[in-house]
Chains A and B, each alone.
Chain A
Amino acid sequence: MLTKRIIPCLDIKDGRTVKGVNFVDLRDAGDPVELAAIYAQEGADELVFLDISATEEKRKTLAELVYHVAETINIPFTVGGGISSVEDVDILLKNGADKVSINSSAVKRPELINELVAKFGSQCIVVAIDAKQIDEQWKVHLVGGKVPTEMDLFEWAKEVEQRGAGEILFTSMDHDGTKNGFANEALAKLSKLVNIPIIASGGAGSIPHFADTFKEGKADAALAASVFHFKEIEIKDLKNELKEEGIPVRI
């Protein structure tokens, strides 16, 4: 049976992890490769690296990081953050990334999705969507959720699917950082609307939140950062409890 995926997300700046991590067994808390290896060992199903650096050397630094991650870990990983061209994606995939996620660049020029799918296949193209509820309507936001647009989350998700994306990573800006649970209502609606996998993001604070997003939110995967980095939730405990709840997970 296909299992629900647990995905730790690592924020990267200039080749280093950004948010503090609370791993006593980590020799270098800022080394993404070492952290990735630990997550893989602890039972993470997949990893996401989100690059937030804005330097000119960004492309080269990220490619090098991807190369070292691919060299080290034996589970799949996605790379996102500022990817805006076929060439960007080509470099990351050649260095060993399994998937890339695009966000603002796809909103600005939706044909980019078609171009990437035609060249690399749907299986490696994830479209990340950040959205926030404004006057009862979910509006797509850009630049890490800072800039609102007039686009409707559900219309955009449908278009993203039609253009060939393999997966949607939906972050609710209303839930992100609150630790009050995922946006399950919107997630369930998304899951019903499109027939590609949905990764839930934003709001993870406790183990029951994950169970809820799989049960009520119908999510195919759940992504979180700080609860894993600060060891508030251990992946092993999380998976054991999900299994007890009757949710299929890889243990």
Chain B
Amino acid sequence: MKLVIIDYGAGNIQSIKFAIQRLGFEAVLSHDAEEIRQADKVIFPGVGEASSAMAKLRDTGLDKLIPTLKQPVLGICLGMQLMCKSSEEGNTKGLGIFDLDVVKFPNTVKVPQIGWNQITELQSDLFKGIPENSYIYLVHSFYSPKGEDTIAQSDYALPYSAALQKDNFYGVQFHPEKSSEVGSTILENFLTVI
């Protein structure tokens, strides 16, 4: 299986590469359109600020490429947020794969949300073998509301999308690479079940 992690200069991709290695797979880091298109599976990571990450995608033409991919694609954290229609962060237009607008958490709670929260209403093979209320690790100030593409939810100030799916596109707000055994199983599901 050929696995590509999209490398566009946004965030800590070393951890994802290591998590995949621990599962016994190898991943290639790439921003090359042809290499990404030919991969069996694609991981689209991202941490940091939405508008500058989106600018980096535009500079390399990846903003046009990603929505046309046909193989399973997994967006992680900011990667998932950029797959939505827009983000309030930096007033950013997203890739528009998920018809959802990413907004900031209200200041009734501490922002960013940092730490381990639970996922519920799990509705995809991505969560095969994962019990309801399992703990996952998150760090984020912005969230995607719930919508028809929501396949897992979490609760912080309000219920929001912890994971999304539409056709071959998957997105998780949490960091599976940092979410202990639960996260490893979810990554393994993406690599072997999806």
Q: Is the interface of A mostly helix, strand, loop or mixed?
A: loop
Which A172-199 residues have C-beta < 8 A from chain B?
Answer: 195-197
Q: Does B140 contact A (CB under 8 A)?
A: yes
Closest to A77 in B: B178
The CA-CA distance from A62 to B18 in the complex, in Å, is 18
B111 to chain A, nearest CB (A): 6
Given A5-B115, A45-B116, A96-B12; A250-B135 close (CB under 8 Å): yes
Write out, one digit per residue, whether chain B residues 130-162 have a CB within 8 A of any chain A CB (1) or not (0): 000001010111000000000000011000000
Q: Is the interface of B mostly helix, strand, loop or mixed?
A: mixed
What are the residues of chain B within 8 A of A121 when measuring CB–CB? 11, 47-49
Our pick among A40, A98, A118, A167 for the contact of B12 (Cβ within 8 Å) is A98
- Contact status B115-A197, CB under 8 Å: yes
Our pick among A5, A95, A120 for the contact of B14 (Cβ within 8 Å) is A95
Q: Does A124 contact B (CB under 8 A)?
A: yes
Q: Does A134 contact B (CB under 8 A)?
A: no
A203 to chain B, nearest CB (A): 21
- Contact status A71-B47, CB under 8 Å: no
What are the residues of chain A within 8 A of B140 when measuring CB–CB? 123
- Contact status B118-A1, CB under 8 Å: yes
What are the residues of chain B within 8 A of A76 when measuring CB–CB? 137, 139, 175, 178
- Contact status B18-A45, CB under 8 Å: no
Closest to B111 in A: A195
Q: Does B125 contact A (CB under 8 A)?
A: no
Number of B residues with CB within 8 Å of any CB on chain A:
36
The CA-CA distance from A1 to B135 in the complex, in Å, is 9
The CA-CA distance from A245 to B184 in the complex, in Å, is 30
Which A66-103 residues have C-beta < 8 A from chain B?
Answer: 67, 70-71, 74-76, 93-98
The CA-CA distance from A75 to B137 in the complex, in Å, is 8
The CA-CA distance from A89 to B3 in the complex, in Å, is 28
The CA-CA distance from A96 to B139 in the complex, in Å, is 16
B80 to chain A, nearest CB (A): 14
Q: Does A221 contact B (CB under 8 A)?
A: yes
9 A-B pairs (CB sep. < 8 Å)? A70-B18, A98-B15, A98-B178, A118-B49, A122-B141, A123-B47, A123-B48, A197-B110, A197-B115
Interface residues in chain B, defined as those with a beta carbon under 8 Å from any beta carbon in chain A: 11-12, 14-15, 18-19, 21-22, 47-49, 107, 110-118, 135, 137, 139-141, 155-156, 175, 177-181, 183-184
